[in-house]
Structure 1
């Protein structure tokens, strides 16, 4: 087994009668998980599984998904979580890459990217680096023993994986909602007994409008937490400890932290870099990160792996940042998301920040769409605050008053909720598809 597997099974063995997982069908003890994982590992080995061979694991946030992944770890294989609802064409792309490779030596997990802008990339994570990073995150966040964590994240998502493993390593309990939907999460939070809520901001926004007051630790991650949404959370949940985390699967996740103790002053920034990583800003404003816990590479893709790192071993994140007056870095957007409007460059994040400050706007997502005159046009989808109406012309005027006129969206679509991908994050690719289909944009 890898160091990650050793650490997880050692933690489970410390408390065989302790509850490790609880969900709609009841509780599962640590001892029961070990027994089930041992049985699963024996089955895999009897079928000829060789060390560090990749094993697809079907997941959709059931408690048994954790057991299935642990079975692969126990057998010495590499777990490759794939969502059960993945379209067949995309599933085949993933499965076709699952063959023996030197990149998999020492690996424990392969996490496929969403592939919203192309074919998915298989990020190969080594077991020793995953174990080391989990220990580091535990220290960075001062993760307590015995925490009950509500898993409102996909297990195909590295964020969902690390909060699951860290909860088990620290003798806690992973709590599953009945389904991974806003209403099911609201229902489980309302039942009480939750200490920690890790979630993407899109879900947090939905919980604010529909959920109960939560007083535990809130860990935002996976996408940017707008300062305005953070302020609403702080006001609605005054007893909660709100933190924000930035990181990439390729770098081992959790590269920057906005700690709860300083959230009010650091809100809207990336916060502080995690201990042990090096940060560099390229001449083009791209954030680059060098981490001892970085991926081993992209599965079966040495070319893309080489392109992902610069000559000094810094990973090219593709995220553009700037520094604000207090010295904290601020995410401007992704280089690949930049809108080229007749030669004028527009960062979607900048327009989103302006629109989000309007009192009638609860949520916003901006993207570029084809335009016959300028090549690309700025387009926005907005969600109205409860009980309020949005006039697109008024919103355009709001933007023009606060930034350059060319950055104002030429198309604004008022929607009940932002389009999201399978990980629950707002998805610009889906937004572009929405504009292609819609005739309601003004």
Structure 2
């Protein structure tokens, strides 16, 4: 779904869309200083010149296989150099990566192939002891559109990615307004939707976020989250770091055992994490002799307790920027020069001056600043429609193109946005609407709570009641103790949890968010 011509003209005239294409990633630094380090992994260091040449050869090899511009390719690779080379090669060919995750299995990958009409799948041979070749065989068996399975490493009976190569040749460049790749929606219900991102809009996102984070050719970005996820891909992330001519350090996981040695060795200046990962880093940092004082940490994806933000400054000596972002294209975040209180209490202001925001009630009427409402957005990076789901698009987009994000926010008079929860993470307790995210933030401040998730439990009288699922820090808290704590913090009584479950750990999705669906499935009226 293209942007209307009047908006497209506005975004071009404002200098947001400059006709850049992602196929040009690596070109300028490779021409200027081919020996400059582009990517660092646990297996080695790779220069701009080397990666530029590998991407050209892979693009030519893919063309020789018969892949054509516009065809879809599902990419489900871990954080390694092959991910970078494959993406850039596909951009240069004009084929469209569908960015899955290495954690995806048959149900997810088959769905992605089917919904996108993909003709190829790229996967590793094995990862963390799991055989992805067998998985690829299962997907291929039920995916009639798949013509090729490309395996990074020992290919078994499939085509080895390393063998897909040909002498570099000139290929027709993509158009800036064409779809560059697909991201996956992070919705909490149903299968993810495909989010088309164009060369124009994503190039703007890479440039604007890099400028805001002061990321340049001498900077280093640590990708601790999956690179196929928007947070680590383009905020400015892996692609933004390469566009700026900087260095990307690819961590296989956000585990402290892997991340802290990389921080010590490579001294990155920027990284991106989710709150759960950040809490783990804070708890384990004293075990590692590493200087994190030069690190800027982008944190988003869930509510961040102010106490955690303070620990980042006092215990890590790092700088925190607080983000609200979505693969659909809207970003809001605190800037490096903002007062520290803003990062503690809000997700800052929108990335683009041409991002348009509406905060409305259930009747789509605007709510005043300071009051909570549903967030609607439109802008130069915000999609105009998910791929090939017209009935869903009719529900989530207004007639004039605003996306109903499903997020509950309030806006301060200075424009700063604070996310208070999700419309679909709202518990209806006898008619009283309780934001699960808001309650989680309050409970996380309790000294005996290491981490917490709030889910609804069915109740015959109230319809729903609240259950707090708590991972304790030391002796477990009691339900009465939690309720007294919330009362002392001034939290309304109807928001206090009705049930308490104490667990050893919370389940997480592949992108590091608490899997509330799994928790809710286990919830019972008895708690």
TM-score by length of 1: 0.90
- Is residue 369 of structure 1 aligned with residue 441 of structure 2? no
Query: Equivalent residue for 1:51?
Result: 69
Task: Go from structure 1 to structure 2 and tell me whether the alpha carbon gap of 1:190 and 1:384 turns closer, same or farther (over 3 Å shift).
Answer: farther
Aligned to 1:248: 326
State the secondary structure of the residue aligned to 1:167. helix
Match of 2:434 among 339, 346, 352: 346
Q: Find the residue that maps to 1:49 and give its secondary structure.
A: coil
**Residue number in structure 2 paired with 1:333:** 421
Moved more, 351-360 or 164-173: 351-360
Structure 1 residue 151 and structure 2 residue 242: aligned?
no
CA deviation map 1:174-217 (0-9, x unaligned): 11224443432234334452222211111111000012451111
Structure 2 contact 375–408 (Cα < 8 Å) conserved: yes
Match of 1:219 in 2: 298
2:475 paired with 1:399: no
Cα displacement (A) at 1:58: 2.0
2:207 aligned partner: 135
Q: Does the 8 Å contact 1:147/1:173 carry over to 2? A: yes
Match of 2:346 among 269, 281, 286: 269
Contact 2:455 2:519 in 1 (8 A): yes
| Residue among 113, 118, 125 paired with 2:197 | 125
Q: 1:28-67 alignment to 2 at 5 Å? A: 28-67=46-85
Q: Is the 8 A contact 1:16 1:30 kept in 2?
A: yes
Structure 1 unaligned regions, length at least 5: none
Q: Partners in 1 of 2:505 and 2:414 — Cα distance?
A: 34
Alpha-carbon distance between aligned partners in 1 of 2:104 and 2:68, rounded to the nearest angstrom? 26
- Matching residue within 102, 105, 119 for 1:87: 105
Distance 1:13 1:294, change over 3 A: farther
Bigger drift between 332-341 and 41-50 goes to: 41-50
Q: Deviations over 1:216-255 (max 9, x none)?
A: 11111233322221112122123x22111212111x24x2
Mapped contact 1:339–1:345 kept (Cα < 8 A): yes
**1:419 corresponds to 2:498:** no
- CA drift of 1:324 comes to 5.0
SS of 1:262's partner is: coil
> How far apart are the structure 2 equivalents of 1:105 and 1:55?
19
Q: Deviations over 1:56-99 (max 9, x none)?
A: 11212222111111121121111112223312122211110123
Q: Does 2:35 match 1:17?
A: yes
Q: Which runs of 5+ in 2 are unaligned?
A: 1-18, 119-175, 363-372
Aligned to 1:303: 391
Note the alpha carbon deviations across 1:148-187, whole angstroms, 9 max, x for none: 1111111221111110011111221111224443432234
Deviation string for 1:312-361 (max 9, x for gaps)? 32221111112457763321211111101222211112212321222322
The verdict on how the C-alpha distance between 1:187 and 1:418 changes in structure 2, with shifts beyond 3 A counting, is farther
RMSD, matched Cα = 2.5
Query: Which piece of structure 1 moves more, 298-307 or 229-238?
Result: 298-307
How many residue pairs match? The answer is 432
Distance 1:318 1:178 in 2: 31
Q: How far did residue 415 of structure 1 move? A: 3.2
Q: Secondary structure at the match of 1:432?
A: helix
Larger Rg: 2
Question: Quick one: distance in 1 between partners of 2:85 and 2:384?
Answer: 25
4+ long deviations beyond 6 Å: none
Per-residue deviation, 1:263:
4.5
Shift in CA distance, 16/296, structure 1 to aligned 2, threshold 3 Å? farther
Shift of the 272–181 alpha-carbon distance from structure 1 to 2, 3 Å rule, reads: same
